[in-house]
Structure 1
């Protein structure tokens, strides 16, 4: 299955999810764990819909579990920063 969305829309959606988690009082550690689980699910079940998502999938596929966790953490940080937090 392909995720057909623009890079901007994808980041905006993820940013809203991170903001909601923060609003609900989730710790950064739990947000990062959730981001890793979502990243793992997306990488296993969806085809990237744009070149930026393709790059992230390729990085995910070659990374160790530790590197994937770091990538998920950086993505969560990036989308949170984009929403002004």
Structure 2
């Protein structure tokens, strides 16, 4: 099973990776930059596995670069808040 198969699993996976990045000293800005690059890659090369991922892809594709950065930052907050 891929982490992309289930949105809840995907959020848990991302939260774990964000925690690891922070533990290694990455700043929030650096994490957001990486998230923006990952979002761009996923949007271009990975077919969404569920309805939540489809919505995220459609939002990403409709957004400007600045809006994509905001989406990446919001996704980081979403996964961090969901683990609390």
Give yes or no for TM over 0.5.
yes
Q: Which runs of 5+ in 2 are unaligned?
A: none
Q: Which runs of 5+ in 1 are unaligned?
A: none
Give the distance between the partners of 1:52 and 1:20, measured in 2 at CA: 25
> Tell me, what secondary structure is at the counterpart of 1:25?
coil
Give the distance between the partners of 2:44 and 2:14, measured in 1 at CA: 18
Give the distance between the partners of 1:22 and 1:43, measured in 2 at CA: 25
The TM-score with structure 2 as length reference comes to: 0.92
Q: Which has the higher contact order (CA 8 A, sep 6+)?
A: 1
Q: How many residues are aligned here?
A: 82
| Aligned-pair Cα RMSD in Å | 1.2
Aligned to 1:65: 65
Aligned to 1:8: 8
Runs of 4+ with >3 A deviation: none
